[in-house]
Homo-oligomer: A and B are copies of this chain.
Amino acid sequence: MTDIASMNRVLWAIPNVLCLVGSRAGEEMNAMTASWVTQLAMDPVLVGVSVDATSVTHRLITDGRVFSVNLWDRADTRVFVKFSKPAAREGDSLNGRPIRQGATGVPILEEAVAFLECRVVHTLDLGSHTLFVGEVVECGFRVGGEDVPVARVEDTRMKYGGVLRGR
């Protein structure tokens, strides 16, 4: 068996996006930094996000059955540290970042380079995390967003993933 330190380094070598996942159940909203996000199918068009089972976002997606993926400008990575904890909502903002509500009511960050709004069609319990698979309801770029390089994990000093700490 591979030792934990080596396994962490290999897992961290898989390039991933760094984005914000928006969620909502009833009047409760959140947005959370996430990196395990990818398209999963073309017909139907499905996107997956795997989320820590202990997180607020996990509870909100489980209850609300919707999520948004907000791709971000790689020049503005401060946002990811801020959204590593539950977000503070004030009116039409989360952590001071302006939001609007999508067709499903899920928060979409106005500053996102691009967004995907998804309705959950599959939920897969994977132990420490749950994979939510959503069908894309709406998506788009903000004005000028198509020309903005999208943030990836490598743009920060964050290292998400690897083996659960404490094992």
Contacts and interface: CB of A to CB of B under 8 A. Distances in A.
Nearest to A4: B45
Classify chain A's interface size: 35 or more
Interface of A: 1-2, 6-7, 9-11, 13-17, 35-48, 50, 69, 71, 113-116, 122, 124, 126-129, 131, 133, 136, 138-141, 146, 150, 152, 161-164, 167
A140 B8 CA distance: 10
Copies of this chain held together in the complex: 2
Contact of A139 (B2, B37, B126, B136): B2
6 contacts: A11-B116, A14-B17, A15-B150, A40-B50, A44-B128, A48-B131
A113 B16 CA distance: 17
A50 B41 CA distance: 7
Contact of A36 (B13, B40, B43, B124): B40
A72 to B, nearest CB: 11
A38 B41 contact: no
Given A1-B138, A36-B39, A133-B126, A150 B13 contact: yes
